[in-house]
Structure 1
Amino acid sequence: MTTIQRSPWQHLRPWLVTLLVLAIVGWAFSGIPLTSLKPTALEITKSILHGLFHPEWSYVYTGDGEDLLAALVETLAIAFLGTFISAILSVPFAFLAARTSHKFFTPRSTFGKVILTIVRVFPELVLAIMFIKAVGPGAYAGMLAVSIHSIGMLGKLFAEAIENIDHGPNEAIVAAGGSALDGLALATFPAVLPEFMNYTLYRFEIAVRSASILGMVGAGGIGAPLIFALQTRNWPRVGIILLGIIVMVTIIDYISGKIRARLV
């Protein structure tokens, strides 16, 4: 039985990787000032926990359109419309960014990827603040923020799906005399449609969580009453709002997961 001799570098590499990771962690902690807790931290923590475990059930439905159910429905509407619009607008950007040749540099694909990267750079909260200045506070600004930000992410995922499909059927259609549009309609698009649907549903799950936060800056949804309750230290209302968000996200994740399991 022969034993494999390990080189000095193979013996040293795990230790170097460990030291590098520890150095990065130490550098990260060095940039965070660690301050002591406030004297009232324990009392405030008790108040928060008491409110979270004793939620304000009367806020679930009041009939005036300012209750928990109305805010959750508005949050879902922001997430759904934002995802629906971005899913449609992402398709042309995806075909623009997809690399269909093995060349090291393709100007069309590079240009499309740069556009999608620039779109993804702006966080949804920043986009929401910008749209609030442009169209005013409310759900419309939140929907625009979700849709624009989702274009960058969905466009990237759609482009990768296009790059990973088998291009043989498309080439066969073109070789048989069909046009590039025929290949796109009869081969490429049917092949990538299940992946597009899968990524869209996954993005919708993320958009629901994002829409729950955008209201904190005035972009509609459940975030607005949540930030008001936090500012006034109304912990029972904070508890029922968080409970509503948890239930909503759990249901959305379950339904979306079932649908995605059938698509893949």
Structure 2
Amino acid sequence: MNMQTTMTNKPEKPVHLNPWRRWSWLIWLVLVAGVYTWAITGLHFTGLQESAGSVSKSIVHGLVNPDWAYVYNGSGEDLVSLIIQTLAIALLGTFVSALISVPFAFWAARGEHEWGHLRSGSGKIVLTLIRTFPEIVLAIMFIKAVGPGSYAGVLAVSIHSIGMLGKLFSEAIENMDRGAEEAIVSAGGNSPQVFMLATIPTIMPEFISYTLYRFEIAVRSASILGMVGAGGIGTPMIFAIQTRAWSRVGIILLGIVVMVLLIDTLSEQLRKRLI
């Protein structure tokens, strides 16, 4: 009885915290502060120009009083026509990239076998290289190759979207629920049956959801690519900025805002139904 009491009342050894865990927050704080300090000191503020006040007033006046006559005039170069062209560039570019991204996604998806890591590693490197080029750089390159216009914009959106969708699709494949595949295999199904009856139905909702999300981004990108001559609403916007037609800039920006809001709302509703 005394032995049990002694064992029960035996004091526990104090737990010594790792010094790294105790002071790690301070180290990270110093590192973050150092990075921010380095970034801020690297900026050189040159001041404001003498005409900054008058130019700012002109910009605000133009944005507040947009050129409503530019909304639609039947010329094909009005706001509505160019917004439809911008949507077409984004839609076609996203659709093409979604189809091409599927084989890239299965290439980059990590498998269960040892050789699968080497295969997926090479696929991830290729997708990373594709994503390295910004869309506006791709647009300039394709303008030199195929000429200015919507075709160059579609190519730029498509190529850049392959890198993004391929990465997202591969992650969806890696994280998918394998229960349906195991059930078909246990029932005697072969590889094509597993792929068609289990893999595709499982990953398709996420593929469509990611494609819709990418389409939202492509709409914004297509609005900017026109500034370098790749078609869409960006072309008249850069002309209006260069000529200081701020009322025209105001109505164009208003049209882009309305377009993006509508696309975001519709895409969000569709994604809720899919997931």
The TM-score range, normalised by the shorter chain, is over 0.9
User: 2:85 maps to which residue?
Assistant: 74
State the Cα RMSD in Å: 1.8
**Residue type of the alignment partner of 1:122:** F
Q: 2:207 aligns with which of 196, 211, 214?
A: 196
* Greater shift in the superposed pair: 175-184 or 252-261: 175-184
SS in 1 for 2:161: helix
Q: TM-score, normalised by structure 1?
A: 0.94
* Greater shift in the superposed pair: 17-26 or 78-87: 17-26
User: 1:231 maps to which residue?
Assistant: 242
**Residue type of the alignment partner of 1:68:** L
1:128 aligns with 2:139: yes
User: 1:26 maps to which residue?
Assistant: 37
User: 2:3 maps to which residue?
Assistant: none
SS in 1 for 2:169: helix
User: 2:52 maps to which residue?
Assistant: 41
User: 1:209 maps to which residue?
Assistant: 220
* 1:174-221 per-position Cα deviation (integer Å, ceiling 9, x unaligned): 344322121111101100000001000000000000000000000000
1:258 aligns with 2:272: no
Distance between the aligned counterparts of 1:259 and 1:67, measured in 2? 30
Once the 2 structures are TM-superposed, how far is the Cα of residue 42 of structure 1 from its aligned partner? 1.2
Tell me: CA distance 1:24–1:102, structure 2 relative to 1, closer, same or farther (3 Å).
farther
User: 1:186 maps to which residue?
Assistant: 197
SS in 2 for 1:166: coil
Distance between the aligned counterparts of 2:125 and 2:28, measured in 1? 32
User: 1:16 maps to which residue?
Assistant: 27
**Residue type of the alignment partner of 2:105:** A
User: 2:175 maps to which residue?
Assistant: 164
User: 1:145 maps to which residue?
Assistant: 156
Once the 2 structures are TM-superposed, how far is the Cα of residue 104 of structure 1 from its aligned partner? 9.0
1:218 aligns with 2:229: yes
Distance between the aligned counterparts of 2:117 and 2:175, measured in 1? 17
**Residue type of the alignment partner of 2:31:** L
User: 1:112 maps to which residue?
Assistant: 123
* 1:105-149 per-position Cα deviation (integer Å, ceiling 9, x unaligned): 722111111111111001000111111111110001101110111
**Residue type of the alignment partner of 2:39:** A
Distance between the aligned counterparts of 1:102 and 1:8, measured in 2? 40
* 1:43-77 per-position Cα deviation (integer Å, ceiling 9, x unaligned): 11111111100100001011111111111000000
* 1:142-170 per-position Cα deviation (integer Å, ceiling 9, x unaligned): 01110111010001000000000122322
Q: TM-score, normalised by structure 2?
A: 0.91
Q: 1:242 aligns with which of 253, 260, 264?
A: 253
User: 2:185 maps to which residue?
Assistant: 174
**Residue type of the alignment partner of 1:12:** W
Tell whether the 8 Å contact from 2:110 to 2:116 is kept in structure 1 after alignment. no
SS in 2 for 1:106: helix
SS in 2 for 1:257: helix
Tell whether the 8 Å contact from 2:111 to 2:117 is kept in structure 1 after alignment. no
Query: Structure 1: where are the runs of 5+ without partners?
Result: none
User: 2:8 maps to which residue?
Assistant: none
Distance between the aligned counterparts of 2:245 and 2:94, measured in 1? 32
**Residue type of the alignment partner of 1:150:** S
Report the count of equivalent residues. 263
Distance between the aligned counterparts of 1:87 and 1:124, measured in 2? 16
Distance between the aligned counterparts of 1:55 and 1:196, measured in 2? 39
* Greater shift in the superposed pair: 137-146 or 34-43: 34-43
